[in-house]
Amino acid sequence: MSIYQPGPVVVRGRDFTAYRIGGAIVAALLFVALCFQVWELFDGDARTVPEVSWIAADNTPDVGGMEASEVIIARTKLLDERWRTGPSPEGEIPDLALRSGVVLNTVPIEDPSPFLTEAWATPDNEALPMIKPSDRVAGISSLPYPAAEIFERPFARDWRVGIADLVTHLGALAILGFSFLLALLLAIRGRVPIVEGRSRRCVKRFGLIERATHWMTSVSFIMLALTGITIAYGKTLLLPFGEEFLGDAGWLSTWGHMMFFPPFALGLVIMAGMWLRHNLPSRLDIEWLRRAGGMMTDSPDHPSARKFNAGQKLIFWSAVLGGGLMVATGIVLMVPFYFFGVDGMSWTMLAHATIGLMLIAIFIAHIYIGTVGMQGAIDAMWQGDVDRNWAKEHHDLWLAEIEGKQPEGTR
């Protein structure tokens, strides 16, 4: 119960209805996307199949081309047989890269250097010291580039089919599902209002350093999320805009993903230093969580909170612990095989993707409540001041503290 006497409830205007209509439209669109994702999950097409296309030579093949083709056909057959003995014999047999009769196009290329796979597949002198040999089990592959057989490890196949694809699909489901629920909440409950209306008196909530750190961290996080989503879902989301666009976006995302991690990591450390003491658990949090912060009704009587309520503490710890794990696993992935062998790398990649997708879903909720979900919240991080009535309704004990009042029996 708030330590301040509640004032009269103010009747809300038409803009609140506009938010609800907007919420309903977004919820409807997200529902369609969600149905598509659920269908994707169960259509049995979660397997990743190598897609190498070859152009058949339209003139009579020369002897060299013929030989190369035969080798690849034999290897493709072997791959086919291995598939049949794999973990899912009842699954559809994938389309294979080559069928008999297809020969390689041996048209000479004037400057072959950009096409030589060795040019990018072989580590240069700078990368070499970072890579130590892995304990991998090598297999046989029909793919025409060095180290392709690494994908033929039985563990890698199980990992890819059973876990990696599942994580990608469930992650998409979590992000879409969570966004859908938030849009539905906006449509049904509406925006959380300042129940007593704005008082037009402001109180200082965050200083310049706090706001600058928050925005540096959040812009980096959003860029990391967008580039990570491009890496994980680029083919589904961007291929419709053309292969060239997908290629450019993929290239930018791969580099961008590494560029935005230092400001994100730095922001996390500063935020932890500035706000840790305000985010330690307290008895007030239980009551706040029990009543969902009092946000489901328009009553001015909210559960008491100091500078950060239980919901905000969850956000803080998600950022610090989840973000910390993302940075740690990201560093492991940036220097392949330096810390772990290939199995360890696979699990690290899985952990990075799982935690990343969960954080994206959590921070969609944070961004929602900080913008459209709650009247007056964005002022705190934008200009640094909040309306006194907002502070009274959501952080009564903090307001009392900065106004020099002594709350009784609230700790």
Nearer to ligand HEM, 139 or 376 (CB): 376
Contact 178, 26 (CB under 8 A): no
User: What are the CA-CA distances from residue 290 to residues 46, 190, 295, 310 (Å)?
Assistant: 40, 21, 11, 10
Residue pair 236/33 in contact by the 8 Å Cβ criterion? no
Sole binder of ligand HEM in the list 168, 213, 217, 230 (CB under 6 A): 217
Give DSSP secondary structure letters for 201-269: -EEE---HHHHHHHHHHHHHHHHHHHHHHHHHHHHHHHGGG-HHHHHHHHHHHHHHHHHTHHHHHHHHH
Alpha-carbon span 181 to 368, nearest angstrom? 11
The site for ligand HEM, by CB under 6 A, has a size of 22
C-beta of 338 vs 382, nearer to ligand HEM? 382
Dihedral (C-alpha) 84, 88, 90, 92: value to the nearest 10 degrees?
Answer: -70
Give the DSSP H or E segment for 385: strand 385-387
Of 24, 266, 272, 378, which one interacts with ligand HEM (CB under 6 A)?
378
Of all residues in the shown chain, the one whose CB is closest to ligand HEM is: 370
Q: Closer to ligand HEM at the Cβ: 166 or 222?
A: 222
* Touching ligand HEM, residues 283-312 (CB under 6 A): 308, 312
CA atoms of 371 and 378, how far apart (whole Å): 6
* Given 340, 367, 401, 410, the residue binding ligand HEM (CB under 6 A): 367
Least gap, CB of 281 to ligand HEM (angstroms)? 14
Sole window of 32-40, 119-127, 211-219, 236-244 interacting with ligand HEM (rule: CB under 6 A): 211-219
Among 4, 83, 180, 221, binds ligand HEM (CB under 6 A): 221
Rg of the chain over Cα atoms, rounded to whole angstroms, equals 28
Do residues 217 and 271 lie in contact, with contact meaning Cβ atoms separated by under 8 Å? yes
- Does 319 bind ligand HEM (CB under 6 A)? Our answer is yes
Strands 202-204 and 385-387, sheet pairing? antiparallel
356 binds ligand HEM (CB under 6 A): no
Q: Which of residues 261-280 bind ligand HEM (CB under 6 A)?
A: 271
Given the rule CB under 6 A, which of 114-122, 138-146, 375-383, 399-407 is the region that contacts ligand HEM?
375-383
* Contact present, 268 and 294 (Cβ < 8 Å): no
- Extract the tokens encoding 233: 């879902």
Cβ 241 to ligand HEM, closest distance in Å? Answer: 25
When asked if residue 194 is in the footprint of ligand HEM (CB under 6 A), the reply is no
Residue 366 touching ligand HEM (CB under 6 A): yes
**Interface pick for ligand HEM out of 104, 175, 192, 377 (rule CB under 6 A):** 377
Is 191 among the residues that bind ligand HEM (CB under 6 A)?
Answer: no
Q: Which stretches of the chain bind ligand HEM, using CB under 6 A?
A: 205, 214, 217-218, 221-222, 271, 308, 312, 315-316, 319, 323, 363, 366-367, 370-371, 377-378, 380-381
